[in-house]
Structure 1
Amino acid sequence: MTLPSFGPPTNWIEVPGANDRRDVENFLGRVRKMDESAAVRIVDTGGALRFWARTPFGPLGTRVVVGSASAPDQIVLAHALALNPDTDGRIDLGYLMPSAWQGMLPPPGGFVQIELVGAQEILDLARRGRDVAADESGPLGVAPSLLDQDVISINPDAAGGATGGDDGGEGDAGEAAATAVKMHTVFALTGLGFVPSRAGTAPAGEKVRVSVRGPWVRLDGRFGSVYHRPESLPLNVVR
């Protein structure tokens, strides 16, 4: 009996590199471990795909790989996405779930680097935070007071001011006034595996970059980035 052919997928992505597919699978595995019902947003930036997920702590995490897509912006559920290409190299996304995504994405560029923090310091903060959470968390999970705690405070004068934007231009030091990195952002960065480590130790000299644009704070690890914007501020895109 010949099975009917349903044709090529309607909603698809292409990630031609095997290493890139493994990287995305690792990212998706981390996302699923944090939240089995998490939504993943896939944005085609022209030659690259940016995979987004919101962590249970609040900040957004993103991983970028070389690839293309059938549409510039598609939303699926993490548990339903498997990176198994067909004979044409396309990965079928199945049904899209646009209603599963809540909130806005950060602006695509214009971030200003204000500090480089040692990766080991980030790992140590996450470890101490987990220890406190284990002792003080209740039946509803990690206490909000712990997640909202400022764990790194950056004074742009002490840090030497802004060192340039990610769009190749000069940074605006006015963007960098009194920036604080909160514990939930540290948890998101380490929980998604964006800081390389072996047995809790980062490679010597490894750094995490802290950048800002308006109310957004971004942390860049070697394997990905996390973004946070205080929810109390108006939800309009900075352009």
Structure 2
Amino acid sequence: MNRAALLILADGRFPAGGHAHSGGAEEAVTAGCVRDVASLEEFCRGRLSTSGLVAAGLAAAAATGYDPLLLEEAADARTAAPALRNASRKLGRQLLRAVRTAWPCTELDALATARPRGAHQPVVLGVAAHCAGLTPLDAAYVAAYESISGPATATVRLLRLDPFDITAVLARLGPEIDHVATAATEAAQRVHTEGPAVLPADSAPLLDIIAERHALRPARLFAS
């Protein structure tokens, strides 16, 4: 088990393109939903328990070695907003480029060939974790953490919030990250016998709405 790979994948400096995306935080700030540290924490908590859980389940399932193309279909079914599908595939394409360099393997090559315009980011993450010698739980942890670390970090630029306060938010949400990663992995362990329908499919309609609004905004700091 390559624990160093877990640190590399979860590192915000890993060249996977996440720095260009706010995970909906920019539009939430524009709409007045996120105004300060307290409202940011609530936003992250909601995102973690919905889209974060879904991403963690997909990543964990891919890390078990389950067919990534079937998981691609499952990701499509769980991503209603076209803007979010587009963002996920952009991030997946960039992540795939990075992980193929870091951990070359035939599974990543096959996914790149099958999805030249980009696969969904959680699916790529799970395949990468599998190739790097990580467990499904590891993949779920990375996906869950990324679902809130990106939006939280973006608010430093958007609202000039104190980075120390942002770190405290992520720390307070630690037990909830544990819960999401564990639940996602438990579901993923059943995917080989029950199919992708067993994976989490929690929805976040507000995230869908703000993603579509953000995609139409002519001037924006982040891509999503």
Q: TM-score when scaled to structure 1?
A: 0.25
Structure whose residues are more often strand by fraction: 1
Q: TM-score when scaled to structure 2?
A: 0.26
